[in-house]
A and B are shown apart, each in its own frame.
Chain A
Amino acid sequence: MCLGVPGKIVEIYETNGLAMGKIDFGGVLREACLTYVPEAKLGDYVLVHVGFALNVISEEEAKETLALLNEIVNLEEEISAQD
């Protein structure tokens, strides 16, 4: 249960005073509580633990991390091309 699942917010509403949302997990829709991510907007990706979204996933950081990793590969290829 510590493995949070990333999904996309497709609907936001309120139930019993709690911010709730419909989350799309790769085609499967499930409800999650959004009270801990007040900044989340429609279309954002959130990490959901046992029915509660706990974080908005930073797309920027994800891209940056992958870009850095790709750079290593490119660098390696350049070096081996020079050999």
Chain B
Amino acid sequence: MDQKLWNGFREPKLVQAKIRQIQKIVTRPWTIMEICGGQTHAIKKYGLDQLLPPEIEFIHGPGCPVCVTSLELVDKALQIASLPNVIFTSYGDMLRVPGSTGDLFSVKANGGDVRVVYSPLDSLKIARENPEKEVVFFAIGFETTAPANAMCVLQAQSLKINNFSMLVSHVCVPPAMRAILSSPTNRVQGFLAAGHVCTVMGYWEYPPIAQEFRIPIVVTGFEPLDILEGVYRVVRQLEKGTYEVENAYSRLVTYEGNVSAQKVIQQVFEVCDRKWRGIGVIPQSGWKLRKEYAQFDAETRFDIQSIVTQESPLCIAGFVLQGIKKPYECSAFGTLCTPENPLGATMVSSEGACAAYYQYSRNLPVPKMNHV
């Protein structure tokens, strides 16, 4: 499958045809949530929300791991990274995430050894090369990064790399979908399920959610045509009154997902309650290391004293993450809060809703176009 074939999913002629197809079947307003921040980014980047008929409103979901990593954990990261014998490794996006008293960048500026890595494997390598140091990896992410993190723990164990540990902040998508649907303020009528999470997990977890909440769920990819196909299928179901799970990303997603990856995740992690930044604790919504791997758990390895957290009083990211408010409704958006100087986590990563709005549509709200 070469780049040309992949680019086929951006073909303007097909995009326009798909939009016309959606226009033909839509008869009334529908609100659709895309779970994944990568999709939020694509929707803003290609202006899909502006191209679609005005009946369709996107609500942006909490699917950006940088944004939902709890303030407590960010603060713990800041404390650990400040310790003299520690090399703290993280994805670049996390460096600017504001904790209560600064960010990882400021720790680095004050002499902390904070390094950006692309994969946890890089972190493991740093640990092997620096046996006299404690190397910590900030293991954030949804189901997409869990296979990598789990495998690195197994590697560390088999290669006896004893100076390696992880600060784990894993979050899982299906419990978040349930939490959103159970909220009294919920407005979501259909879901675009996060395609890349499903490449790992498949979509066997979704039929019970679709049935229980009577909501259509369509597994959706990230190219403009993928997203429009997801929207088309959700709208088709909404107009018919059905609530099935469909797969609109068949080139990558199967019902079972990647079974060997799921097994390794199971082996290393167990389900736990997890606090989501801006949202609060969602029961059974995260993974933590199993007891057998406690030696690789940075939270037990480093004695971190109780932390007093404090969010910026201006930030309404919690509402943004739940789809209750749009970023431009925040008084700090684009003025006091920018990607260079973020007050909240959703302004940091390009997958965060505030950053996506800032990057692609600073002058919002703009009137919607009726036709393309």
Q: Are the C-beta atoms of A65 and B251 separated by less than 8 Å?
A: yes
**Contacts A2-B37, A18-B155 hold; do A59 and B1 have CB atoms under 8 A apart?**
yes
Q: Are the C-beta atoms of A73 and B65 separated by less than 8 Å?
A: no
Q: How far is the CA of A33 from the CA of B264 in the complex (A)?
A: 14
Minimum Cβ distance to chain B for residue A18 (Å): 7
Residues of B within 8 A of A36 (CB): 147, 151, 258, 260-261, 264
- Mark B residues whose CB is within 8 Å of A: 1-3, 5-6, 8-9, 13-14, 17-18, 20-21, 36-38, 41, 63-66, 91, 93, 118-122, 141-142, 144-145, 147-148, 151, 155, 158-159, 194, 196-197, 199-200, 222, 225, 229, 250-252, 258, 260-261, 264, 351
Q: Are the C-beta atoms of A58 and B250 separated by less than 8 Å?
A: yes
Chain A binding surface, main DSSP class: mixed
Q: Are the C-beta atoms of A59 and B5 separated by less than 8 Å?
A: yes
**Contacts A2-B197, A16-B155 hold; do A62 and B144 have CB atoms under 8 A apart?**
no
Residues of A within 8 A of B6 (CB): 6, 62
Q: Are the C-beta atoms of B18 and A1 separated by less than 8 Å?
A: no
From B13, B18, B225, B258, contact of A55 by CB (8 A): B258
Q: Are the C-beta atoms of B351 and A3 separated by less than 8 Å?
A: yes
Residues of A within 8 A of B9 (CB): 66
Q: Are the C-beta atoms of A51 and B119 separated by less than 8 Å?
A: yes
Chain B binding surface, main DSSP class: helix
Q: List 27 A-B contacts (CB under 8 A).
A: A1-B66, A1-B93, A2-B63, A2-B65, A2-B142, A3-B222, A4-B196, A16-B159, A18-B155, A26-B3, A36-B260, A49-B196, A50-B118, A50-B145, A50-B148, A51-B118, A51-B119, A51-B120, A51-B148, A54-B199, A54-B200, A58-B252, A59-B1, A61-B251, A62-B8, A65-B250, A73-B14
Q: Are the C-beta atoms of A1 and B144 separated by less than 8 Å?
A: yes
Considering only CB atoms, which chain B residue lies closest to A64 in the complex?
B250
Q: How far is the CA of A36 from the CA of B196 in the complex (A)?
A: 15
Q: How far is the CA of A25 from the CA of B284 in the complex (A)?
A: 36
Residues of B within 8 A of A76 (CB): 17, 20
Considering only CB atoms, which chain B residue lies closest to A69 in the complex?
B14
Q: Are the C-beta atoms of B5 and A63 separated by less than 8 Å?
A: yes
Question: Does residue A12 face the partner (Cβ distance < 8 Å to B)?
Answer: no
Considering only CB atoms, which chain A residue lies closest to B16 in the complex?
A73
